[in-house]
């Protein structure tokens, strides 16, 4: 089963990737916009998943980091600088701020930490709105150019979607590597039991700060993609509700699961669109769907799958045991 399961999983992965590349080719502009948004939000949610799912720290500031990245990209690219420079600035800036924001996490936990990060979120929003000289305040920044990637212009929706998808692939690979590295294992140890992690010789202070900083930096990466995607930004999208949405994506998808953010972002970005035929009711239905899902499976969508697989594994194991037992009994 294991070898077959592995092949199936690889086949499924390839099928999904191929579908993500081919199917959108005949999508209209809006469909491509939504899919690109899914890719961008997945990156941001992956960052939060690292902070929450792997290091166990609740953060309500991820939306603010997306905002910082988006403003870095908007301000720099409208000044004629390349997007890659803005990406560098956003990563460094968000990493540094995330590191500093991690310090309260060393002192306070759970809901207290949620509120420290919530306060930061609000402060960031106020800076976006009020510092006109930098962010043009409530008027926002328009005419954000889309980048040239390896000589290809991404002005049209389809190439830009591929750009977002490619970025998502790069971030996913980096994340895949990270959570399998000693660092990732240290993060998990931290989540499961901070005291035991400390007794195992893990520098919990450093890893908590690191989880915050890397998670925040990924929020910044998502932001630098978000700005050229919408080509116009103002403070409104980066208020607290984005942070709450991102937290919801991580939990609904399944926090601590690698593919959780992909599914969570799909629910949060695509489900309201699919429900749009119900007109005014779509966000209501979305809210009800999220609540029902969480009542049914508090560990998110992947939690259901995980439970199902665990059940099958136990069944398989007990079947094997039964077989072995009967053999023992029939043996002379």
Among 110, 185, 205, 321, binds other proteins (CB under 8 A): 110
Size of the site for other proteins (CB under 8 A): 40
Phi-psi region of 279 (alpha: psi -120 to 50; beta: other; left: phi over 0): left
- Residue 134 binding other proteins, by CB under 8 A: no
Q: Please say which residue, 10 or 287, places its beta carbon nearer to other proteins.
A: 287
Instruction: Decide: is 85 part of the binding site for other proteins (CB under 8 A).
Output: no
Task: Enumerate residues 179-218 that contact other proteins by CB under 8 A.
Answer: 193, 195
**CB under 8 Å to 22, separation ≥6 — which residues?**
none
CA proximity to 65, closest of 33, 100, 91, 38: 91
Give the CB-side neighbour count of residue 85, counting CA atoms within 13 A: 9
Q: Is 78 in the site for other proteins (CB under 8 A)?
A: no
Shortest reach from residue 111's CB to other proteins, in Å: 6
| Interatomic CA distance for residues 135 and 74, integer angstroms | 9
Please give the radius of gyration of the chain, using alpha carbons only, rounded to the nearest integer: 22
Minimum CB separation from other proteins for residue 38, in Å?
19
The 17-56 contact track toward other proteins, x by CB under 8 A, reads ----------------------------------------
Residue from 96, 288, 316, 317 touching other proteins (CB under 8 A): that is 288
Q: 208 and 102 in contact (C-beta within 8 Å)?
A: yes
d(CA 178, CA 312): 29
- Asked if 87 contacts 225 with a C-beta cutoff of 8 angstroms, the reply is no
Which residues make up the interface to other proteins (CB under 8 A)? 58, 104, 107-112, 115-116, 118-120, 122-123, 126, 129-130, 193, 195, 240, 244, 247-248, 251-252, 255, 280-281, 283-284, 286-288, 290-291, 294-295, 298-299
């Amino acid at each position: 089963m294991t070898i077959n399961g592995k092949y199936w999983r690889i086949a499924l992965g390839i099928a999904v990737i191929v579908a993500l590349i081919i199917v959108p080719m005949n999508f209209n502009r809006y469909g491509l916009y939504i899919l690109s948004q899914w890719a961008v939000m997945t990156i941001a949610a992956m960052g939060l998943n690292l902070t929450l799912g792997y290091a166990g720290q609740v953060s309500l500031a991820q939306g603010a980091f997306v905002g910082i990245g988006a403003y870095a990209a908007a301000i720099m690219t409208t000044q004629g600088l390349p997007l890659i420079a803005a990406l560098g600035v956003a990563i460094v800036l968000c990493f540094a701020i995330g590191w500093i924001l991690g310090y309260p996490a060393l002192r306070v936990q759970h809901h207290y930490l949620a509120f420290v990060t919530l306060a930061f979120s609000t402060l960031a929003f106020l800076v976006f709105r009020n510092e006109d000289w930098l962010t043009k305040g409530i008027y926002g920044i328009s005419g954000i150019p889309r980048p040239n990637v390896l000589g290809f212009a991404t002005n049209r929706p389809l190439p830009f979607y591929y750009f977002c998808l490619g970025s998502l692939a790069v971030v996913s690979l980096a994340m895949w590597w990270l959570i399998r590295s000693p660092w990732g294992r240290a993060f998990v140890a931290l989540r499961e039991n901070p005291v035991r992690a400390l007794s195992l010789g893990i520098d919990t202070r450093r890893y908590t700060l690191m989880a915050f900083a890397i998670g925040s930096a990924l929020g910044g990466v998502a932001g630098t993609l978000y700005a050229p995607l919408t080509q116009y930004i103002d403070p409104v999208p980066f208020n607290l509700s984005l942070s709450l949405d991102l937290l919801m994506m991580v939990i609904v998808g399944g926090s601590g699961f690698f593919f959780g953010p992909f599914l969570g972002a799909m629910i949060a970005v695509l489900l309201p669109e699919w429900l749009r035929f119900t007109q005014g009711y779509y966000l209501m239905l979305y809210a009800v769907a999220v609540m029902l899902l969480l009542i049914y499976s508090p560990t998110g969508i992947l939690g259901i799958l995980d439970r199902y697989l665990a059940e099958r594994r136990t069944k398989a194991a007990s079947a094997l045991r039964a077989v072995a037992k009967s053999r023992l009994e029939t043996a002379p």
